[in-house]
Amino acid sequence: MLLYLFFFFFFSSLLSCKAHPLDPLSPSEFIVIQQTIKTSNLFSSTPLYFQYIGLADPDKLLLLSWLSNTSNSPPPRQAFIIARSDHQTHELHVDISTKSIISNTVYTGFSFPLLNFEEQTAASNLPFNYTPFMNSIKKRGLKSSEVVCTTFTVGWFGEVKKSKRLLKILCFATGDTVNLYVRPLEGITIVVDLDLMEIVDYTDRFVVPVPVAGGTDYRSKKQKPPFGPRGKPVTVVQPEGKGFSIDGHSISWANWKFHLSYDVRAGAIISLASVQAHDAKLYRLVLYKGFVSEVFVPYQDPTEEWYYKTFFDAGEFGFGLSASSLQPMSDCPTNAEFLDGYYAAQNGSPVKIKNVFCVFERYSGDSAWRHTEIGIPGMVITEVRPEISLVVRMVSTIGNYDYVTDWEFKTSGAIKFTVTLTGILEVKGTSYTHARQVEQDIDLYGSLLAKNTIGVNHDHFITYYLDLDIDGYNNSFVKAKMKTVNVIDGSSPRKSYWTFVKEIAETEADARIELEAEPAEYLVVNTNKKTKIGNDVGYRFISHGASSISLLSDDDYPQIRAGYTKKQLWVTAYNVSEKWAAGLYTDQSRGDDTINTWSQRNRVINNKDIVVWYTIGFHHAPYQEDFPLMPSLSGGFELRPSNFFETNPLIKTMPFNETHWPKCTNNL
C-alpha cells in the first residue's frame, strides 16, 4: 500500500511538473545557471555579481508553433543574465538544457542595471562607519541605534561623460516609531560608489527638526482603544469549492485560461490569456504577454536634497524583487490560493518569495448584468447575474510605497488592470510647524501635513506592456474619433448628432495617443478575422481614472528619460528586445532606449504584430489624511471585447443556486 502510494505521488507529481516553456526559472535552474557560469572560468579573476537573471523570451513563432501542436519539442529554455564584474556590465545567455553559455557581451552604454538587495544593504550600512555622518547624527541629538539608512538612485541630469555607478543614501530616525519615512534627517547627502562600495561624497548643509515620532506608529498593537470607525469582519465562502484550477503555472477559470509567471524585474507576467467563445470549446488568444514594464515616480522638488528623486521603480529596484509576501486573510480574501516566486541572489543562488501572488474569485455583491421586465401583461421577469471575476494579485513594496497590482479576468471577456497606491509618503523635514508661517511667495513643493513635515508633490506612472494577439498576431490599431455633425439642410428637427470617424494607424507615428486630447475610442482589431455579420474582431481600451500625463518640460532630464509619459498610449511594432519602457538599463539612463525612441523609427503597424503600451498616471498632491500612512488609492483601465464575440457571453451564465448551501445567517 505504501509502495503504491509512493508511485502514485511520484507519477502524479511528474505529470503536474511538466514544464511550460514560459514557466519562470526554477530553483534548480538558477543553480544550473550559477554553476554553468562559475565553471566556465570566464570570470575567475574578478568577482561576479548578478543583477538580473530571468527567463529569456522564447522565440515567439517557435512558441506559437509548439502551442499549435505540443507533441513537437518546445523552444529551448534559455536564461538572460546581467552581471557586474570588474566595473563592467555583462550580458549573458545560458542554455539551460545544455548547460552552456551561448553569449557573453559587455554593455558599453551609459546606464546601469537593476540594483540587487545585497549591494543596497551593504551601501546602507556604510554611513555608520563614517565619522562625518556620526557627527551629523550627534548634531541632531540622535543615537546611531535609532537611525536607519536606505538607498536612492541618483538619476541623470545632463552629464555628458559616463558616470560611476552611484547611489545616494538617506537616513531616518526610528526611535519610538517604526514609521521611519516620516522622520527624515533632512540636509544630509551621502553618495556611494557601488563598485568601490565606499562613500565618495558627503554634505550636511543644514539642520531642521526631525519630525516627532508620536502618533506615527501604524502597528495595530500601538493603537490605544477606542478604535476609530469599524465594521464587522467579512469573509468569503465558496460552498461548492473554488471555481479555478492551477496546474503548474497555467490557470483556468470560467471561460479563461492563461499562464502566470514571476520575473524579478516585472513581477507578474500574464501570457497566452485566451477566452472561450460561449458556443464553442475553442479558446481564442487575446493577450500573448502582458506585464508592468516601468513605474516612474518623479518628485516635484528641485532643491539640492530632493531634485534627483525621479525613480524608475521597476528598472532600478525591480518590481518583482520588491514583491511582498502576501498575508492570507488580509492582503487577499479567505478564498485565495497563493503561489511562490524565486529570484537569484547577488551570488546567483535561488531565493524564495513565499506567497508572491494570490489568485482568487472576487464577488463583491455587484451584478454583471440584470433586467426587470414589466412590459408584458401578467408577468414580471427579473434576471440578475452576479459579477464574479478572477483576480491575480501582487504587491510590490518599493521603500516607502506599496503598489497593489490586480489582473482581473471577467466572464464578459474583459480584462481589468488596477493599480492601488498605499504605504507611507516620502516626506520632507522642515522648520515650519503651522501653515500660517509659510509666506505667500514660498513654494513648499508640497503641503504641510504635520509639524515639521511636508508631503512633497509627485507622480506615479505605471506603464504596461501589452502584446495583444487578438485571434492571431497580425493586429491593427484603430482610432475611432467622435465627431459632431451639424444637420444644416433642414432634413431633421435636430441640429446635430455625434458619430465615429475611424482611422487605422498605418505607422507608429499615428499611434502616440493622449487620451483626453479628443473624444475617441481606441481599439486593437484583427482585420483578418470577422464576426459572422462581418465586423473586425477586437478589444477596446477603457480608462478607469488615473490617466494623468507628465507635466514636466520636455527638456527636463527626468522627462527625457521617461518621454513616453506625455502620452498614455503608444503602439509599437513587436520586437523581442523592446520590453522595458524606459530602457533595459534604467539606472542613470539618458532616454536613448525608450518607447518614444523606438516609436521614432516609425515602423508600419497596420496588420502587423503590435505591442500596446498603456500608462496609468497619478498626480499625487498629499493631504493630511495621507499621513502617517496612506489610504489606498486606485486607478486603472480595462480591455473590453468589442465585436470579439458574436453576442454577450453573459447570456450563458447562471444565477447562484443556494438551495443546497449550508444554512448561514448573519445574526449569529
Ligand X SMILES: *[C@@H]1O[C@H](CO)[C@@H](O)[C@H](O)[C@H]1NC(C)=O
With CB under 6 A as the contact rule, which of the stretches 52-60, 66-74, 197-205, 455-463 interacts with ligand X?
Answer: 66-74
Spot the catalytic one: 49, 342, 401, 465.
401
**Partner from ligand X, Cu ion, none binding residue 278, C-beta < 5-8 Å depending on class:** none
Nearer to ligand X, 44 or 657 (CB): 657
Question: Is residue 659 part of the contact set for ligand X (CB under 6 A)?
Answer: yes
For residue 63, the one-letter residue type is L
**Partner from ligand X, Cu ion, none binding residue 364, C-beta < 5-8 Å depending on class:** none
**Beta carbon of residue 281, minimum distance to ligand X (angstroms, whole number):** 16
Q: What is the C-alpha to C-alpha distance for residues 638 and 614, in angstroms, rounded to an integer?
A: 11
Nearer to ligand X, 457 or 463 (CB): 463
For residue 203, the one-letter residue type is T
Q: What is the C-alpha to C-alpha distance for residues 392 and 563, in angstroms, rounded to an integer?
A: 30
With CB under 6 A as the contact rule, which of the stretches 12-20, 337-345, 456-464, 653-661 interacts with ligand X?
Answer: 653-661
**Beta carbon of residue 610, minimum distance to ligand X (angstroms, whole number):** 11
With CB under 5 A as the contact rule, which of the stretches 255-263, 499-507, 613-621, 643-651 interacts with Cu ion?
Answer: 613-621
Among 290, 620, 641, 653, binds Cu ion (CB under 5 A): 620
Phi/psi of residue 212, nearest 5 degrees: -70, 155
Answer yes or no: are the C-beta atoms of 29 and 36 closer than 8 Å.
no
**Beta carbon of residue 600, minimum distance to ligand X (angstroms, whole number):** 11
Range 398-437, binding Cu ion (CB under 5 A): none
The DSSP call for residue 23 is: P
Question: Is residue 665 part of the contact set for ligand X (CB under 6 A)?
Answer: no
Q: Is 313 a catalytic residue?
A: yes
Q: What is the C-alpha to C-alpha distance for residues 382 and 151, in angstroms, rounded to an integer?
A: 59
Burial readout 296-307 (b: 16 or more C-beta within 10 A, e: otherwise) = bbbbbbeeebbe
Grid cell digits, residue 664: 448561514
With CB under 6 A as the contact rule, which of the stretches 46-54, 65-73, 324-332, 554-562 interacts with ligand X?
Answer: 65-73
Measured from the Cβ of residue 154, the count of other Cβ atoms closer than 10 Å reads: 20
Question: Is residue 69 part of the contact set for ligand X (CB under 6 A)?
Answer: yes
- Angle of CA points 24, 27, 33, to nearest 5°: 85
| x/- map, 427-466, ligand X, by CB under 6 A | ----------------------------------------
**Partner from ligand X, Cu ion, none binding residue 183, C-beta < 5-8 Å depending on class:** none
**Beta carbon of residue 597, minimum distance to ligand X (angstroms, whole number):** 8
**Beta carbon of residue 349, minimum distance to ligand X (angstroms, whole number):** 31
Nearer to ligand X, 392 or 610 (CB): 610
For residue 419, the one-letter residue type is V
Question: Is residue 105 part of the contact set for ligand X (CB under 6 A)?
Answer: no
Q: Is 401 a catalytic residue?
A: yes
Answer yes or no: are the C-beta atoms of 50 and 31 closer than 8 Å.
no
**Beta carbon of residue 73, minimum distance to ligand X (angstroms, whole number):** 9
For residue 267, the one-letter residue type is G
Residues 6+ apart with CB under 8 A from 157: 307, 308, 557
With CB under 5 A as the contact rule, which of the stretches 154-162, 434-442, 552-560, 618-626 interacts with Cu ion?
Answer: 618-626
Range 280-309, binding ligand X (CB under 6 A): none
**Beta carbon of residue 300, minimum distance to ligand X (angstroms, whole number):** 30
For the stretch 650-656, contacts whose Cβ atoms lie closer than 8 Å and that sit 24 or more positions apart, written own/partner, are 650/368, 650/369, 650/385, 650/411, 650/412, 651/278, 652/278, 653/368, 653/369, 653/385, 653/411, 654/385, 655/383, 655/384, 655/385, 655/386, 656/386
With CB under 6 A as the contact rule, which of the stretches 230-238, 516-524, 571-579, 611-619 interacts with ligand X?
Answer: 571-579
In 3D space, the residue among 343, 52, 215 whose CA is nearest the CA of residue 628 turns out to be 215
Q: What is the C-alpha to C-alpha distance for residues 555 and 573, in angstroms, rounded to an integer?
A: 27
Grid cell digits, residue 10: 511520484
**Partner from Cu ion, ligand X, none binding residue 338, C-beta < 5-8 Å depending on class:** none
Residues 6+ apart with CB under 8 A from 427: 181, 182, 184, 211, 449, 453, 454, 455, 456, 622, 627
Answer yes or no: are the C-beta atoms of 177 and 216 closer than 8 Å.
yes
Question: Is residue 60 part of the contact set for ligand X (CB under 6 A)?
Answer: no
Among 40, 472, 542, 643, binds ligand X (CB under 6 A): 472
Among 72, 364, 372, 496, binds ligand X (CB under 6 A): 72
DSSP per-residue letters across 103-140: EEEEE-SS-B-PPPHHHHHHHHHGGGG-HHHHHHHHHT
Q: What is the C-alpha to C-alpha distance for residues 664 and 21, in angstroms, rounded to an integer?
A: 45
Question: Is residue 657 part of the contact set for ligand X (CB under 6 A)?
Answer: yes
**Beta carbon of residue 529, minimum distance to ligand X (angstroms, whole number):** 10
Preceding peptide of 628 cis, ω within 30°: yes
**Partner from Cu ion, ligand X, none binding residue 553, C-beta < 5-8 Å depending on class:** none
In 3D space, the residue among 280, 237, 236 whose CA is nearest the CA of residue 255 turns out to be 280
**Beta carbon of residue 511, minimum distance to ligand X (angstroms, whole number):** 16
**Beta carbon of residue 205, minimum distance to ligand X (angstroms, whole number):** 41
**Partner from Cu ion, ligand X, none binding residue 620, C-beta < 5-8 Å depending on class:** Cu ion
Task: Report in angstroms the alpha-carbon separations of 665 from 237, 329, 334, 662.
Answer: 13, 21, 18, 10
158: burial class by Cβ within 10 Å (0-12, 13-18, 19+)? Answer: exposed
Total residues binding Cu ion (CB under 5 A): 1
Nearer to ligand X, 54 or 628 (CB): 54
**Beta carbon of residue 316, minimum distance to Cu ion (angstroms, whole number):** 17
Nearer to ligand X, 481 or 530 (CB): 530
Task: Report in angstroms the alpha-carbon separations of 354 from 212, 244, 327, 343.
Answer: 35, 21, 10, 11
Residue count of the chain, please give it: 668
**Partner from Cu ion, ligand X, none binding residue 303, C-beta < 5-8 Å depending on class:** none
Phi/psi of residue 116, nearest 5 degrees: -100, 165
Total residues binding ligand X (CB under 6 A): 13
Among 40, 238, 474, 643, binds ligand X (CB under 6 A): 474
Question: Is residue 577 part of the contact set for ligand X (CB under 6 A)?
Answer: yes
**Partner from ligand X, Cu ion, none binding residue 69, C-beta < 5-8 Å depending on class:** ligand X
Phi/psi of residue 158, nearest 5 degrees: 90, 0
In 3D space, the residue among 517, 515, 621 whose CA is nearest the CA of residue 568 turns out to be 515
Answer yes or no: are the C-beta atoms of 516 and 623 closer than 8 Å.
no
Range 583-622, binding ligand X (CB under 6 A): 598, 608
Nearer to Cu ion, 153 or 389 (CB): 153
Question: Is residue 575 part of the contact set for ligand X (CB under 6 A)?
Answer: yes
Residues 6+ apart with CB under 8 A from 57: 576, 579
**Partner from ligand X, Cu ion, none binding residue 660, C-beta < 5-8 Å depending on class:** ligand X
Spot the catalytic one: 217, 263, 301, 313.
313
With CB under 5 A as the contact rule, which of the stretches 76-84, 509-517, 580-588, 615-623 interacts with Cu ion?
Answer: 615-623
**Beta carbon of residue 429, minimum distance to ligand X (angstroms, whole number):** 42
Question: Is residue 660 part of the contact set for ligand X (CB under 6 A)?
Answer: yes
Q: What is the C-alpha to C-alpha distance for residues 147 and 127, in angstroms, rounded to an integer?
A: 10
**Partner from Cu ion, ligand X, none binding residue 626, C-beta < 5-8 Å depending on class:** none
- The residues that are catalytic are 313, 401
Q: Which stretches of the chain bind ligand X, using CB under 6 A?
A: 69, 71-72, 472, 474, 575, 577-578, 598, 608, 657, 659-660
Q: Which stretches of the chain bind Cu ion, using CB under 5 A?
A: 620
